[in-house]
């Protein structure tokens, strides 16, 4: 084995291999930096060139791309608050907060360093693991996979902290939105209201952008300042980021390990890993007060995990031909185009290529992180630009990204709708991650539960793996509570009547207009969902009913909590925010009428002239760049934008 490893290593440093890997890395960085374009789009760009290429060189190129996407997409997450791809959603929470506090360089440099370390650790794990992984991966049956989705869901409790019921309600709503589409067990359609668009459910990218990015944009627009409120001390910021990683090396190692292991399990999408490790970071921290407001650990944890996860996802792809992530699915197509069949043969007859893949992954991680570190400082200075100038560019990027999901105008409408909800959530402090976790895990939870019961019956829940993961969940949920009661008892006994919601002194309960709007809206949605799913069979309906149950029950608990304790009425403003969302829908209307490219160009021009009040020649220049970007990407990705009336005449 060692000689194969070494010969693959020497293969790695041939001119052609390095050349193509660098190409892959560069394409990957560009694709990673543009929000919404992730591994899937990047692979689509490279795939046409694979046919007929030398396999080892082609694999190097693909790996270069795969390795750096979770590194490059950090830029958008940290600087703009836009989840660059599904793997960077958790990074947004603290990364963007750090940027707003003027510490973008620190967030970026620690993100890149931990990405690189995570990727390297992932590659090390992978190189030993790949030859013995088969039995372990095969030991994960549907029941263990189901338990893993529950483990992911238990992060909701960790992340919502003292606002447990609000978090659970948000998660319930996420579950409900996540099961839109076909019931896996029976083929019945749920909650699609006869709309073709909803038959497949809402796309993750649209939901991620809507819930995180749009509310941030609106907030920044209202403030009219730059993204970072305090000036960024660049020189210190990025050295400090590197120091942060050194101080948190234990966290990096643990998160990389979690990342590579979860990545190896087929079926669990990479988008869960960042939340799991984020939850882990929150839970293992002694001082949790800064999470969500800009804690560097909230950046380090998901970033070390997502690169490791990209490595881990190669295990099921290579060993079983069953991709562990969306990007891996396309990589699989690439393998087939190269005439390579994944499976046991990758170890027995193509071990050298397998190691080329792993080594390329490691090397590309280093290269990608180095390039990003070089870019970090100049790019971080973006946060000092007045936001009104950036806003149209970012908005067009987000719409472009959302439109990538299914290439239908409905993507934009869904983006606006989820965005409106995100704004409400943000204003009233309801947990947006909890919603997203519910949304991401709903299909897996339902599917694996159904499969576990069908395949194994009641035996599904007495398997050792299931019990181990179950114990882990219990530990995550109850350990902090037990620890607290124990500590409380050790000092002076102080009655804790709010069992799970933490011993928050009563009186800080606050309620506002937006809370009431959210609660009423959620109850209405639950009602609509119940009516829609009423006629379903038991197997098709159990999951929506469960989601409705969680939603309604936690709302009732939340209301009871508010009734039992003194509540301070807080003023929550929302009118202006919703006005902006209204404007967004107007924009969609204009896109339908005029066409995507023209609307985006005109909108940027007018916005820059009238709202941002920049010089006409700058406004025109930027608008031209936006048109150029859209038309160019349209060509590269063979995209057909919503055409409207005028676009076909102007842009062909």
- Per the CB < 8 A criterion, the answer to whether 99 and 78 are in contact is yes
Cβ-count burial 111-143 (b if 16+ within 10 Å, e if not): bbbbbbbbbbbbbbbbbebbeebeeebeebbbb
Contacts of another protein in 66-95 (CB under 8 A): none
Work out whether 22 is an interface residue with another protein (CB under 8 A): no
Shortest reach from residue 23's CB to another protein, in Å: 7
Shortest reach from residue 341's CB to another protein, in Å: 4
Of 193-201, 276-284, 296-304, 497-505, which part binds another protein (CB under 8 A)?
193-201
Q: Which is nearer to another protein, 231 or 648 (CB)?
A: 648
Work out whether 347 is an interface residue with another protein (CB under 8 A): no
Q: Which is nearer to another protein, 545 or 629 (CB)?
A: 629
Q: Which long-range contacts (CB under 8 A, 24 or more apart) does 552-558 make?
A: 552/172, 552/523, 552/526, 554/165, 554/166, 554/168, 554/169, 554/172, 555/165, 555/169, 555/519, 555/522, 555/523, 557/165, 557/168, 558/165, 558/166, 558/169, 558/519
- The two beta strands, 181-182 and 189-190, are antiparallel
Tokens 């609000």: give the residue. 166
- Residue among 7, 186, 283, 562 that touches another protein (CB under 8 A): 186
Q: Which is nearer to another protein, 118 or 540 (CB)?
A: 540
Shortest reach from residue 543's CB to another protein, in Å: 12
Q: Tell me the C-alpha to C-alpha distance, in Å, between residue 286 and each of 280, 290, 423, 650.
A: 12, 11, 30, 59
Q: Which is nearer to another protein, 103 or 451 (CB)?
A: 451
Work out whether 336 is an interface residue with another protein (CB under 8 A): yes
Q: Which is nearer to another protein, 57 or 389 (CB)?
A: 57
Work out whether 43 is an interface residue with another protein (CB under 8 A): yes
Contacts of another protein in 531-570 (CB under 8 A): 537, 539
Work out whether 344 is an interface residue with another protein (CB under 8 A): yes
Written as one string, the DSSP assignment of 132-194 is THHHHHHT--HHHHHHHHHHHHHHHHHHHTT-HHHHHHHHHHHHHHHT-EE-TTT--EES-TT
Work out whether 629 is an interface residue with another protein (CB under 8 A): yes
Contacts of another protein in 147-176 (CB under 8 A): none
Shortest reach from residue 317's CB to another protein, in Å: 10
Three-state SS annotation for 235-303: HHHHHHHHHHHHHCHHHHHHHHHHHHHHHHCCCCCHHHHHHHHHHHHHHHCCCCCCCCCCCCHHHHHHH
Contacts of another protein in 385-424 (CB under 8 A): 406-408
Work out whether 461 is an interface residue with another protein (CB under 8 A): no
Shortest reach from residue 598's CB to another protein, in Å: 11
Q: Which is nearer to another protein, 182 or 559 (CB)?
A: 182
- Residue among 5, 7, 23, 379 that touches another protein (CB under 8 A): 23
User: Residue 577: left if φ>0, alpha if ψ -120 to 50, beta else—which one?
Assistant: alpha
Which residues have CB under 8 Å from 98's CB, separation 6+?
78, 104, 106, 107, 294, 296, 299
Contacts of another protein in 266-285 (CB under 8 A): 266-267
- Residue among 161, 184, 465, 480 that touches another protein (CB under 8 A): 184
Work out whether 332 is an interface residue with another protein (CB under 8 A): yes
Work out whether 199 is an interface residue with another protein (CB under 8 A): yes
Work out whether 631 is an interface residue with another protein (CB under 8 A): yes
Binding-residue total with another protein (CB under 8 A): 74
Work out whether 142 is an interface residue with another protein (CB under 8 A): yes
């Amino acid at each position: 084995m060692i000689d194969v490893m070494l010969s693959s290593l020497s293969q790695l440093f041939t001119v052609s291999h390095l050349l193509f890997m660098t190409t892959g890395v560069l394409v990957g960085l560009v694709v990673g930096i543009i929000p919404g374009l992730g591994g899937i789009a990047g692979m689509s760009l490279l795939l046409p060139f694979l046919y007929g290429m030398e396999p080892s060189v082609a694999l190097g190129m693909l790996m270069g791309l795969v390795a750096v996407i979770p590194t490059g997409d950090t830029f958008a997450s940290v600087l703009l608050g836009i989840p660059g791809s599904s793997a960077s959603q958790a990074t947004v929470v603290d990364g963007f907060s750090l940027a707003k506090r003027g510490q973008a360089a620190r967030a970026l440099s620690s993100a890149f360093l931990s990405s690189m370390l995570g990727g390297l650790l992932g590659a090390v794990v992978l190189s030993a693991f790949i030859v013995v992984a088969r039995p372990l991966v095969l030991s994960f049956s549907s029941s263990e996979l189901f338990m893993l989705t529950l483990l992911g869901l238990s992060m909701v409790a960790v992340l919502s902290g003292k606002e447990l019921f609000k978090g659970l309600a948000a998660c319930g709503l996420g579950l409900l939105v996540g099961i839109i589409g076909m019931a896996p067990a029976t083929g019945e359609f749920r909650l699609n209201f006869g709309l073709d668009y909803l038959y497949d459910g809402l796309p993750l990218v649209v939901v991620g952008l809507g819930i995180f990015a749009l509310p941030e944009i609106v907030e920044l627009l209202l403030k009219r300042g730059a993204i970072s409120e305090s000036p960024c001390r660049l020189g210190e910021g990025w050295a400090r980021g590197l120091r942060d990683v050194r101080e948190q090396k234990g966290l990096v190692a643990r998160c990389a390990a979690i990342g590579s292991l979860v990545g190896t399990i087929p079926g669990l999408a990479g988008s869960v890993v960042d939340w799991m490790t984020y939850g882990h970071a929150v839970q293992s921290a002694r001082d949790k007060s800064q999470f969500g407001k800009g804690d560097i650990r909230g950046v380090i944890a998901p970033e070390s995990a997502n690169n490791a996860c990209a490595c881990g996802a190669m295990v099921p792809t290579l060993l079983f031909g069953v991709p562990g992530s969306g990007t891996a699915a396309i990589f699989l197509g690439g393998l087939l185009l190269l005439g390579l069949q994944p499976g046991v043969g990758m170890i027995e007859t193509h071990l050298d290529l397998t190691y080329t893949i792993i080594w390329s992954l490691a090397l590309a991680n280093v290269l990608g992180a180095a390039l990003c570190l070089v870019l970090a400082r100049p790019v971080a200075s973006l946060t000092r630009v007045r936001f009104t100038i950036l806003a149209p560019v970012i908005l067009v990027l987000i719409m472009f990204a959302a439109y990538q999901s299914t290439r239908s105008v409905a993507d934009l409408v869904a983006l606006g709708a989820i965005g409106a909800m995100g704004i409400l959530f943000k204003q009233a402090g309801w947990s947006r991650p909890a919603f997203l976790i519910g949304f991401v895990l709903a299909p897996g939870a339902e599917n694996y539960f159904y499969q576990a019961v069908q395949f194994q019956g009641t035996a599904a829940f007495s398997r050792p793996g299931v019990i181990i993961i179950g114990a882990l969940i219990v530990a995550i949920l109850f350990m902090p509570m037990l620890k607290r009661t124990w500590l409380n008892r050790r000092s002076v006994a102080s009655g804790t009547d709010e069992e799970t919601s933490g011993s928050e002194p009563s009186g800080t309960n606050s309620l506002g207009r937006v809370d009431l709007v959210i609660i009423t809206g959620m109850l209405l949605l639950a009602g609509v969902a119940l009516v829609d799913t009423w006629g379903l069979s038991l197997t098709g309906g159990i999951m929506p009913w469960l989601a409705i149950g969680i939603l309604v029950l936690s709302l009732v608990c939340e209301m009871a909590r508010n009734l039992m304790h003194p509540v301070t009425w807080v003023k929550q403003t929302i009118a202006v925010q919703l006005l902006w969302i209204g404007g967004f829908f107007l924009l969609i209307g204009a896109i339908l009428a005029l066409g995507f490219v023209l609307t985006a160009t005109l909108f940027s021009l007018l916005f820059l002239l009238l709202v941002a009040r920049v010089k006409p020649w700058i406004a025109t220049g930027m608008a031209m760049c936006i048109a150029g970007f859209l038309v160019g990407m349209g060509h590269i990705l063979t995209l057909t934008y919503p055409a409207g009336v005028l676009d076909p005449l102007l842009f062909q």
